[in-house]
Amino acid sequence: AQSVTQLGSHVSVSEGALVLLRCNYSSSVPPYLFWYVQYPNQGLQLLLKYTSAATLVKGINGFEAEFKKSETSFHLTKPSAHMSDAAEYFCAVSGRRRTAGNKLTFGGGTRVLVKP
């Protein structure tokens, strides 16, 4: 079974400060990892994904994440927070399909608050 754990259900950062969202995974097969963002009253939007091509993955809106197998982690970072980054962030894991469709398992989510 696969799972992800997001450390910290809420993160508060000042505008211009580093954003760091933590995600640790558990998987018996090589994992594929995703970060999604959800703005209020909207659906989820993909920020970036790890598919084993490169351990440092760059995404949209200045976000990036690094896959560390030794630490079973896939933490999300952004050097300088912007007010528009206030949202809910979800880490998710999938693996080789045993059934049709891409079954994602989501972490509990981290709500980011950006202070002016």
Partner 1 sequence: DTEVTQTPKHLVMGMTNKKSLKCEQHMGHRAMYWYKQKAKKPPELMFVYSYEKLSINESVPSRFSPECPNSSLLNLHLHALQPEDSALYLCASSQEGAAGGLSTDTQYFGPGTRLTVL
Chain residues binding partner 1 by CB under 8 A are: 32, 34, 36, 41-46, 49, 51, 90, 94-104, 106-109, 111
Closest distance between partner 1 and the C-beta of residue 62, in Å? 19
Structure tokens at 10: 């809420």
Closest distance between partner 1 and the C-beta of residue 80, in Å? 26
Closest distance between partner 1 and the C-beta of residue 24, in Å? 15
Q: 12 forms bridges with which residues in the sheet?
A: 113
> What order of strands is seen across the sheet that includes strand 64-68?
3-7, 19-26, 73-78, 64-68, 56-58
